[in-house]
A and B are shown apart, each in its own frame.
Chain A
Amino acid sequence: QLALTQSPSASASLGASVKLTCIVSSGHTRYTIAWHQQKSEKGPRFLMKVNSDGSHSKGDGVPYRFSGSSSGAERYLTISSLQSEDEADYYCQTSETGNVVFGGGTRLTVL
Chain B
Amino acid sequence: EVQLVQSGAEVKKPGESLKISCQGSGYSFNTHWIGWVRQVPGKGLEWMGIIYPDDSDTRYNPSFQGQVSISVDTSSRTTYLQWTSLKTSDTAMYYCARRNDYNWNDQVVDSWGQGTQVIVSS
- In angstroms, how far is the closest chain A Cβ from the Cβ of B90? 19
**Which residues of A sit under 8 angstroms from B113, Cβ to Cβ?**
43
> Given A98-B50, A98-B59, is A44 in contact with B106 using a C-beta cutoff of 8 Å?
no
Docked Cα-Cα span, A87 to B104, in Å, equals 33
Interface residues on chain B, number (Cβ under 8 Å):
28
Q: B35 touching A100 by the CB < 8 A rule? A: yes
Number of A interface residues in the complex (CB < 8 A): 30
A32 at the interface (CB under 8 A from B): yes
Q: Which of A76-108 contact B (CB under 8 A)?
A: 89, 91, 93-102, 104-105
Task: Kindly name the residue among A38, A43, A89, A91 whose own CB sees the greatest number of chain B CB atoms within 10 A.
Answer: A43
Within 8 A of B (CB), among A36-54: 36, 38, 43-46, 49, 51-52
Minimum Cβ distance to chain A for residue B105 (Å): 5
Q: Is B55 an interface residue (CB 8 A)?
A: no
B110 and chain A: residue at smallest CB distance: A46
* Interface residue from B103, B104, B109, B115 paired with A100 (Cβ < 8 Å): B109
Q: Contacts A100-B35, A101-B47: A95 and B99 contacting too (C-beta < 8 A)?
A: yes
B95 engages A102 (CB within 8 Å)? no
Residues of B within 8 A of A99 (CB): 47, 59, 61
Distance between Cα atoms of A65 and B45 in the complex (Å): 25
Q: Hey, which chain B residues are within 8 Å of A49, CB to CB? A: 106, 108, 110
A95-B107, A101-B47, A102-B45 given; name 13 further pairs at CB < 8 Å: A31-B105, A32-B102, A32-B107, A36-B112, A43-B93, A43-B113, A52-B105, A96-B105, A99-B47, A100-B47, A100-B61, A102-B37, A104-B44
Q: Ordered nearest first, which 10 A-B pairs have the shortest CB separation?
A: A98-B59, A95-B107, A34-B108, A32-B106, A100-B47, A102-B45, A43-B115, A105-B44, A49-B108, A31-B105
16 contacts between A and B (CB under 8 A): A31-B105, A32-B102, A32-B103, A33-B108, A34-B110, A43-B93, A43-B112, A44-B112, A93-B108, A94-B107, A96-B105, A96-B107, A98-B50, A100-B109, A101-B47, A102-B44
